[in-house]
Structure 1
Amino acid sequence: MPTTVSRRDPVLDALRWTPGARGSAPLYVQLKRSLLDLVERGEIRNGQRIPSERQLAQHLGISRMTVRQALVELVQESVLVRRQGRGTFVAERKIEQGLVSLTSFSEDMRRRGMRPGARLLEMEVQEAPPKVERALALDADRRVLVIRRLRLADGIPMALETSHLPVARVPSVPRGRVAEGSLYEYLQGELGIDLAHAHQTLEPVLAGESEARLLGVEPGSPLLLMERTTYDAAGEPVEFVRSLYRGDRYKFFVELRRDRPVRGESS
């Protein structure tokens, strides 16, 4: 029979499971399914700490190796997350971001019922590096306004965003607008720039020391690097932005449609 531990824990209280109760599946699989059920039913909240391997093993009367295997698989599946020196926690709900509509971070967060925010890290005029110069098709004036911000949702760091804007079109932006509001709303509402479409790439990267510190993750944690060039209605590039999104809080999706075969084309 499972034994009890001296200190009560809400997860242990919710884990009403007897080893072997889920049929003949290996015990670590049964424990994994039981923990996953608790997360999906909301009995274990996002961000809640999971008891230690020793506590779980003692409470359930099974080996620590069995507990460890169940937790490792849940971490690999992004259901749980390990934080060095602090323990294992239920992963925060990931934000789904579509790849079809051209929207700003602020617009995305408001649509999800979250409060967008930003911490301005840098805003200055610089000479554009070659990659930015090519993306923005700069000619005589190679200067760009660089705006680097830590993007927040309900006060939680979500992304590091570095925008490059041609000084010839956007000589300055009020600090209050980039710290509190949407840059896209300022470009459209105040400068009359009609943002129309964008070219965007995504790739996985690992967090360096500085990015990890700002985003509140461990160095080496997975991040999603997004680079986007945004164009106005006339097809002129307006912004090149490089964003690093937390891999534990974001997932991107795109809807795919199969082209109808041309009549007479072999299947």
Structure 2
Amino acid sequence: MAKMLDDGSSTPLYAQLRELFKGQIVDGAFVPGERIPSEDKLNGLYGVSRITIRRALQELVNEGYLVKCPGKGTYVSERLPGTSVSSKVRAKFTQNNDVQSFTEACESNNQRAGAHLISIEQVEGLDDARAFFGFGNEGRLLRVVRIRTADRTPIMVEENYFPAEAYAFLRSADFEDTSLYDIILSNGHGEPMLTEPCDLDLEKASAELAPYLDVPVGEPLFCLEGRYYDTDGSPMYLGRQHIVGTRYTFRI
């Protein structure tokens, strides 16, 4: 049975709930990486409003005890406050055809890579895409958008554009917590390569991106754009990554 909150206390209900959850996390009732109950479940357990529940959870997110994964739920942080290990992902990025995947970057930092599909849809190729893929006006692309996480912390939203016909297998692929490179390799293609410089710019988190990355609108982001080739030199995909700058470091 859930511990009841005290309506008569001078301590607000959201603060009582926050401290209750924090104590359960510290005591191991909820372990790192575990998903906490839904708002509906918590409402049934404690009989408090959704506003109260959301404020308590958001304060624990702010304090580093919980991590929100849009579309999946709220999880106990893999790196609880007070631990000495940095949660920042440090990724190797060179221009000698050596591209380190996000999964590899996480592994080199002893972190667990995650992925969650936001959308996959067919779109028309713009002029720069047609030039890259050698399309005519009839060229169509598959736009694959995912959230990438490290130890459940959102790091980036990646949007990749593939030739729709050659990469039709992506429509039925399991993207959940899966490396895109592994999906590509398992379907007969080589490992993606860079043969030309990428573009790295700064941008601000839009109202669309911010909720997926669990950052405020206007948060500074890296925007990395690159053209990736198959090992036989054929164009593979156009990639654009929207990266939370405070959670990611490039090694160039």
Same fold (TM over 0.5): yes
1:124: which partner in 2? Answer: 121
Q: Say whether the 8 Å CA contact 2:113–2:150 is kept in structure 1.
A: yes
Q: How does 1:184-263 map to 2 (within 5 A)?
A: 184-199=181-196, 200-254=198-252
Q: Say whether the 8 Å CA contact 1:117–1:181 is kept in structure 2.
A: yes
CA–CA separation in structure 2 for the residues paired with 1:250 and 1:230: 21
Distance 1:106-1:234 versus aligned 2 partners, 3 A rule: same
1:64: which partner in 2? Answer: none
CA–CA separation in structure 1 for the residues paired with 2:90 and 2:233: 28
CA–CA separation in structure 2 for the residues paired with 1:141 and 1:107: 36
Give the 3-state SS of the residue equivalent to 1:131 in structure 2: helix
2:179: which partner in 1? Answer: 182
CA–CA separation in structure 1 for the residues paired with 2:215 and 2:195: 29
Shift of 1:180: 2.6
Q: Say whether the 8 Å CA contact 2:113–2:148 is kept in structure 1.
A: yes
Q: Say whether the 8 Å CA contact 2:91–2:100 is kept in structure 1.
A: no
Q: Say whether the 8 Å CA contact 2:144–2:159 is kept in structure 1.
A: yes
Shift of 1:124: 1.6
Equivalenced residues, count: 168
Distance 1:168-1:113 versus aligned 2 partners, 3 A rule: same
CA–CA separation in structure 2 for the residues paired with 1:214 and 1:187: 25
Q: Say whether the 8 Å CA contact 1:177–1:183 is kept in structure 2.
A: no
Distance 1:93-1:112 versus aligned 2 partners, 3 A rule: closer
CA–CA separation in structure 1 for the residues paired with 2:172 and 2:178: 10
Distance 1:113-1:159 versus aligned 2 partners, 3 A rule: same
CA–CA separation in structure 2 for the residues paired with 1:104 and 1:215: 19
Shift of 1:158: 0.5
Where do 5+ consecutive residues of structure 1 fail to align? 1-46, 50-89, 255-267
Shift of 1:252: 1.4
CA–CA separation in structure 1 for the residues paired with 2:63 and 2:175: 33
Q: Say whether the 8 Å CA contact 1:207–1:218 is kept in structure 2.
A: yes
Distance 1:172-1:126 versus aligned 2 partners, 3 A rule: farther
Say whether 1:155 aligns with 2:149.
Answer: no
For 1:192, the aligned partner's letter is H
CA–CA separation in structure 2 for the residues paired with 1:117 and 1:176: 15
What TM-score do you get using the length of structure 2 for normalisation? 0.60
Distance 1:194-1:158 versus aligned 2 partners, 3 A rule: closer
Q: Say whether the 8 Å CA contact 1:136–1:229 is kept in structure 2.
A: no
Distance 1:188-1:141 versus aligned 2 partners, 3 A rule: farther
Aligned-pair identity (%): 24
2:13: which partner in 1? Answer: none
1:98: which partner in 2? Answer: 92
Distance 1:105-1:175 versus aligned 2 partners, 3 A rule: farther
Deviation sequence 1:80-128 (CA, Å, 0-9, x none) = xxxxxxxxxx9x6432222213122122212222111111110122211
Q: Say whether the 8 Å CA contact 1:164–1:241 is kept in structure 2.
A: yes
1:52: which partner in 2? Answer: none
Deviation sequence 1:53-92 (CA, Å, 0-9, x none) = xxxxxxxxxxxxxxxxxxxxxxxxxxxxxxxxxxxxx9x6
Q: Say whether the 8 Å CA contact 1:136–1:240 is kept in structure 2.
A: no
Where do 5+ consecutive residues of structure 2 fail to align? 1-61, 65-83
Deviation sequence 1:179-228 (CA, Å, 0-9, x none) = 23111112122223353334321111111112111101111111000001
Give the 3-state SS of the residue equivalent to 1:192 in structure 2: coil
Distance 1:137-1:111 versus aligned 2 partners, 3 A rule: farther
